[in-house]
Structure 1
Amino acid sequence: MVTKRTSGLPLICLVCDDIARGINYDVMTCMSCKIFFRRHVLKSDIKLQCQFDNNCKITKRTRNICSACRLKKCFLLGMNQQLIRHWSYNQLKLKHSQLLKIKNKNENQLPKPLPLSLLNNDRSNLTNNEWNLLSNIIHAYDEANIIPQMKYCLIQQSSLPPKLRSKLSEATVIFRALLSSLQPFVERSLYFHNLSNDTRQALVQNNFEIAGTLNSVFIIREINALDNMTFVASCATFYGDKVVKQSFHLTSQLESNGILVKIIILILAFSTNTSIVNPYYSENIMSISSALTVFHIESILVTMFWKYLNYQYGYRGAVRCLNSLIRSILDILYSANEMRNEQHDNMVDTVVEEIKHSLTIEN
């Protein structure tokens, strides 16, 4: 299990530098700042004013001095008020009153145990290990420097002379970079390094194309690549105009919460197989023991992911969000099969073989 101790990653509140509880409203915060943000957003009719110079330094010791600057810092860091479940204080007071009446009425009766089930609107909190795992996944993706690296690659591509940009070889460079950006993220997971070399190679062979394509769609959206005419021209050169239109659809339909996308990418990377399966294809089929090990890792990731969805959106919202993510993955799987051509297959095969070779050397 990846923990704060084994990874060396401290959980620090980005608002006040106190010990963080986890990601709240899209930002890593402590419980104090989470409650502060929720309380002041719900009391939107109260206008906060700084008594100093509107630039107070917010720390653990000073956070209670200036609410105006503290709230401003919450918004600057990207805390999302849309993720707050809006309950009025009158509703909460009424609910509390009703619960007291029920308690007084049944104080001499033993309560019925409630079943712990996803179908019973369960919103159990994540364990400390699951919070650490979630934090480590986000940290690993950012540490891999994927988004800045692809921005730089796109700038370099745009700086080439127009005739050179339109060449297939130059278009291949950018799509190969997109596809290859998945592996540094996956390799930062301790789960990956704890597997045998044969199992790691099987994961790369079976999941790299789909997980890499989902990662590519996410990057394309994050760097606004479809607004860049050089990238669009490269896409048309490499795949054709139809794929350009499909890319607009895939990026617009993809879940807006990047944290969820990063987690689902890793879940796909640790699946036994996300490829379209050929029944006569026997290479890189996992042994029973390897498949069970991978299934156990995937189970840990999926459990944490589902609990986080419930924590953020409640049961119904979690179901809708998961349904949307699955639909996006199926659309990407379909598109990956439809856009397939000789240069795409050669690129995927080359990248996969290079990664498998590097894993063998490393082992």
Structure 2
Amino acid sequence: FPTLNLLQSDKSTLTVDQWNLLSNLSHCYDEYSGLSVGERFMLEQNVLPFKLRFKQEPIKQLIQMSLDKCQLLYKNNQDFLSLSAVDRSILLHDTFNYTAGVSASLIIYKIQLMDYPIYYDVIEMLTHPSVISVAKRLADRFDFDGIIVKLFLAILSFSTTHYTVYSNNPPINLSNIKEILRIQDTYIELAWQYLLYKYDLKQAVTCLSNFIKCLFAIHEAVIKTHDIQWLTDTISSIVIQIEQTLTLN
């Protein structure tokens, strides 16, 4: 348990409650299950003849499976589960594009698929040529510590910022905005304290800056792919699955 090891050698200013929250967060979202899917994909591709590797359909399926792994972030987070059903639904619909985009990008980055030029050719065919520059910016900046990514994902999952895609659905107000803002502040403070624990001030600022730049890239990708049917259908299906699971529980 890496978080326990960190706690045992703690020289930071994090409180015991913050370490406990970090431990809970670390266990509620298991990035390794997503990485195992990605690693299996790479193994399967590498045994194929060169001309048959990294075709559209397998990469499309990898993206879909990677997006699906982000469900755990919502299903297992006790702060999220403590909110009303209405507020959970609003946050889920508003943030899943971002969190799933970051989560899937992390998996694809970690398995080094972004190192292959053919990956960008396939992304262009699956989405839109303008997405290529976004994908390359992500590849240049996505080298984050796993715990830091989880913290950033938690912050995003409680974000009340709407991305810039017009919708015919009327806006619905959150019923307990004060509690959601409190949770946001808690994770933001925890993320900053952890960055200062792991890095010096300059490195912490650089890491935070790089993640913000990645978020801008994800934001741009959301806008540019909002009319890609297979992708929007995939995300909608996952969101419905999460809502159904939360309702049953």
Taking the aligned partners of 1:139 and 1:182, their CA distance within structure 2 comes to: 13
| Counterpart secondary structure, 1:145 | helix
* Alignment CA distance shift 1:167-1:211 (3 Å): closer
Larger mean Cα displacement after TM superposition, 250-259 or 311-320: 311-320
Alignment check: 8 A CA contact 1:235 1:244 kept: yes
- Give 1:203-214 correspondences, 5 Å limit: 203-214=91-102
What is the RMSD computed on CA atoms of the aligned residues? 3.3
Highest RCO, 1 vs 2 (Cα 8 Å, sep ≥ 6): 2
TM-score of the superposition, structure 1-length normalised?
Answer: 0.58
Alignment check: 8 A CA contact 1:154 1:174 kept: no
Deviations 1:29-60 (A, max 9, x none): 535xx8xxxxxxxxxxxxxxxxxxxxxxxxxx
Corresponding residue for residue 77 of structure 2: 189
Alignment check: 8 A CA contact 1:176 1:347 kept: yes
Deviation at 1:320, TM superposition (A): 3.3
Corresponding residue for residue 9 of structure 2: 30
Taking the aligned partners of 1:277 and 1:241, their CA distance within structure 2 comes to: 19
Larger mean Cα displacement after TM superposition, 150-159 or 206-215: 150-159
- Give 1:164-313 correspondences, 5 Å limit: 166=55, 170-227=58-115, 234-276=122-164, 278=166, 281-287=169-175, 289=176, 291-313=177-199
Deviation at 1:130, TM superposition (A): 0.5
Taking the aligned partners of 2:211 and 2:117, their CA distance within structure 1 comes to: 28
* Alignment CA distance shift 1:172-1:356 (3 Å): farther
Q: Which runs of 5+ in 2 are unaligned?
A: none
Alignment check: 8 A CA contact 1:144 1:184 kept: no
Deviations 1:73-125 (A, max 9, x none): xxxxxxxxxxxxxxxxxxxxxxxxxxxxxxxxxxxxxxxxxxxxxxxxxxx70
Taking the aligned partners of 1:153 and 1:293, their CA distance within structure 2 comes to: 41
Alignment check: 8 A CA contact 1:158 1:165 kept: no
- Give 1:60-75 correspondences, 5 Å limit: none
Q: Which runs of 5+ in 1 are unaligned?
A: 1-8, 14-20, 23-28, 35-123
TM-score of the superposition, structure 2-length normalised?
Answer: 0.81
Alignment check: 8 A CA contact 2:54 2:119 kept: no
Corresponding residue for residue 149 of structure 1: 37
Give the length in aligned residue pairs. Answer: 247
Deviation at 1:128, TM superposition (A): 0.6
Alignment check: 8 A CA contact 2:141 2:214 kept: yes
* Alignment CA distance shift 1:317-1:155 (3 Å): closer
Corresponding residue for residue 217 of structure 2: 331
